[in-house]
Amino acid sequence: MEPQPFTIQIEESVLDDLAERTGRTRWAADFANGDWAYGAEAGYLHELIDYWRNDYDWRHHEALMNRFAHFRTEIDDVPIHFIHQRGKGPNPIPLILSHGWPWSFWDWHKVIGPLSDPASHGGDPADAFDVIVPDLPGFGFSSPLNRPGVDALMTADLWQRLMNEVLGYGKFAAHGGDWGAFVTAQLGHKHADRMIGIHLANGAPLDFFQTGLPGPEDYAPDEAGLHARTVHFFAQGHGYSAIQSTRPQTLAYGLTDSPVGLAAWLVEKRRDWSDCGGVVERCHSKDDLLTSVMIYWVTQTIGTSARYYYEGAKNPWRPSHGGTPVVNTPTGIIRFDNDVCWFPRKIMERHYDIRRWTRVPNGGHFAPMEQPQVLIDELRAFFRPLRRTVA
């Protein structure tokens, strides 16, 4: 499991093939879809693909990625790619950041520098972290994944071994959003003795997939409207999950073959789940959007990333112990009011040892891309009093 240095360097033939494919796209007709109600809107998609073909520079973004220290290892036949950026300060603590879908490791690039080297970004060096940013198994450069059964619960076990056995940390901190929040919560539940603390962007109870959504009576007066928003998302915006939880391989053929199909599938989520008011570039530039798409394209991982849903649906969460709360690791939660799914504080307090609860009026589902400074400040503040617990 010795980690090996890794450089991102995509073969030119892959980029040539991409240019050829985008140049002969057979476009679907689209009409009466200016509000994206039917899905990705053709006008914007044409504009984005034209930029992809004529202005986007993968080699520039590849060079930016390679400014960080990348490594690869393998644990139990699962390939793992990760950034390991050492902290600059008197006592950096290790912090693993876990992304979700349709994210990748690169969604964290705005926060890695400030968290690892606070002094260079106007912060206190006493808040420094050793920052570890893996791709989830089957996502991006944590590929190719050739074994079934890899879900968020197994990923938590892999992360524990990555941090303790591969990197040699005794105790560590963790933060995550989307699937990464479930990975982080499972670390806090099953591996509490290894944890300094955990921090979630929004998040949900670990048994959410078995118990379902909370009722309107569970929401406090100051959470008015958030139940309706959550119910609306699961009724109107959750079709992707139904497909990826049941027939991910069928979807994979089309999206692995068509770059425009892949872009449509992923960019729609960036628009719908961000706090952008329906204008995706208020939160994500064309370069941001296309770099995210490119990571899935050049690694051919849309299929295995979609299988993460299938494996999660087939493997319900079971507690590893009977302690209360279920997650008895010190927990911080930051809530972005304009995210798509919002569990009330009343429910979360039954499941987590909550030490810090922060609500933010602006920001959506992609916190490190939409509100990086807010997240940086929050992580520094939450872990500051926990640093003394490091073995």
Chain segment 230-256, per-residue pLDDT in tens: 999 999 999 999 999 999 999 999 999
Q: For residue 97, what pLDDT is reported?
A: 99
- Tell me how far apart the alpha carbons of residues 305 and 296 are, in angstroms, rounded to a whole number: 9
Q: How far is CA 13 from CA 16, 140, 240, 252, 268, in A?
A: 5, 18, 31, 21, 28
Q: For residue 249, what pLDDT is reported?
A: 98
Closest CA to 74 of 131, 10, 7, 141: 141
| pLDDT range class, residue 388, cuts 50, 70, 90 | confident
Domain count along the chain: 1
Mean of the pLDDT values across residues 160-186? 98
Q: What is the distance, to the nearest Å, from the Cα of residue 367 to the centroid of all Cα atoms in its chain?
A: 9
- 137-161 pLDDT, tens per residue? 999 999 999 999 999 999 999 999 9
| pLDDT range class, residue 212, cuts 50, 70, 90 | confident
- Tell me how far apart the alpha carbons of residues 217 and 320 are, in angstroms, rounded to a whole number: 30
| pLDDT range class, residue 68, cuts 50, 70, 90 | very high
| pLDDT range class, residue 391, cuts 50, 70, 90 | low
Q: Is the pLDDT of residue 389 over 90?
A: no
> Residue 286 corresponds to which amino acid?
K
Q: What is the mean pLDDT of the chain?
A: 97
- Kindly report the CATH number assigned to the domain that includes residue 370: 3.40.50.1820
- 12-40 pLDDT, tens per residue? 999 999 999 999 999 999 999 999 999 99
- Tell me how far apart the alpha carbons of residues 368 and 133 are, in angstroms, rounded to a whole number: 12
φ/ψ of residue 74, rounded to 5: -140, 130
Task: Print the domain residue range for 153.
Answer: 4-389
| pLDDT range class, residue 1, cuts 50, 70, 90 | confident
Share of the chain above pLDDT 70, in %: 100
- 72-83 pLDDT, tens per residue? 999 999 999 999
Mean of the pLDDT values across residues 328-343? 96
Mean of the pLDDT values across residues 33-57? 98
Q: What is the distance, to the nearest Å, from the Cα of residue 63 to the centroid of all Cα atoms in its chain?
A: 22
